Structure 1
Amino acid sequence: MTTTYAVHYTYGIDSADARLEHRDAHVQFLLGLQEQEALLLCGAYSDDQHPGALLVVAAESADQARSTVEQDPYHQRGLIDDIAVREWVSRLGSRSEALQ
């Protein structure tokens, strides 16, 4: 049984240029997760003072969710300072049924 996890990336404050350089590999990684139905939603925060992103991931456990996103080229190149994984339950909203 899969569970939904909110995965928060905190990017290195000076990582913008390196992230741009490796963005294609990062996007291809995310598209692969989407094809596997492991990635439900994702997007970057627009706050340049606190760069980061939110991914909503389907996984068997928090450990599996973490090990999955640790394969991200951004993580492998040291561009993510922190990855926080929390179980997330969608309750309301026009798209909540799609996340269950």
Structure 2
Amino acid sequence: MASALRRARAGEGPVLAWPLACGSTVAERTRAVDFAQGVLRVEVPDVGWRKELQSFAPQYLAVINRYVGESVKRIEFILAGQQLADRADKNGRSTRV
């Protein structure tokens, strides 16, 4: 498994390693959406999940960095649906009506 994650294309290793790092129970309710500039973005269902998972972030980082070739410096937990709003803000457009 580790060698496959190390051979993954740039940016894919940390995303693919997320279920391994967090376990099946958490993986069923969350989704790693992207990895860029050392930050792995993980979608969570609600604020409670985000708060809980933030406390485990150092452990998740240790596992992910053990298995992938790229250095993950931080995990950002985003609320489901927030990713689209963030992209709109970065492009200078709003998705709000």
Give the TM interval when normalised to the shorter protein.
Answer: 0.3 to 0.5
TM-score (norm 1): 0.36
Relative contact order (alpha carbons < 8 A, sep ≥ 6): 1 or 2 greater?
A: 1
Q: Which has the higher strand share?
A: 1
